[in-house]
Amino acid sequence: MKLAIYPGSFDPVTFGHMEIISRASKLFDKLIVLVSVNPLKPCSFSIEERKELLRETVQHEGLTNVEVDSYDGLLIDYFTERNADVIVKGLRAISDFEYEFQMAQANRRLCYKAETIFLTSKSEYTYLSSSMVKQIAMFGGDISDFVPEYILDRIVTRLKK
């Protein structure tokens, strides 16, 4: 059984993340979407809120081999604990590449078994990021093109607080 982990902030989940989740879930027997705690990145949604939004999305899309979890520690420790095979990352543009390349090299240095596989973004989502969605919502803009309608109200209400 091939187990993959897709880590990120998911603050909040967007169509860009969902597209990667859906494609990765078809490539591996099981996919864990991991809400990772990055102490260097301030987040707007709590870990529990981010997991809840992801769980609802995964359920709504009928992705039965996808689990949502969170981890407050090194990704590679979680990867080893779960005996995973692959780390999945999404690549939007060259701007993502340098950081992701560095992370993949560092993770393999920490654990030789840790292969990172990159899925390139669907062209219409290459510009899409959680921070862009948050900025638009905070100023009362329409984010219905970026996040699913069944979680839209919750995201908007939460960001207006």
Residue nearest to ligand ADP (CB): 16
Residues in Cβ contact with 38 at an 8 Å cutoff, skipping those fewer than 6 apart:
9
Residues in Cβ contact with 123 at an 8 Å cutoff, skipping those fewer than 6 apart:
none
Q: Which is nearer to ligand ADP, 22 or 80 (CB)?
A: 22
Give the shortest CB-65-to-ligand ADP separation in angstroms.
19
9 binds ligand ADP (CB under 6 A): yes
107 binds ligand ADP (CB under 6 A): no
Q: Output the six-digit token pair for 103.
A: 């992370």
Backbone torsions φ then ψ of 107, nearest 5 degrees: -65, -35
18 binds ligand ADP (CB under 6 A): no
12 binds ligand ADP (CB under 6 A): no
146 binds ligand ADP (CB under 6 A): no
Q: Which is nearer to ligand ADP, 111 or 117 (CB)?
A: 117
Report CA-CA distances (Å) from 15 to 10, 29, 57, 79, 106. 11, 22, 10, 25, 28
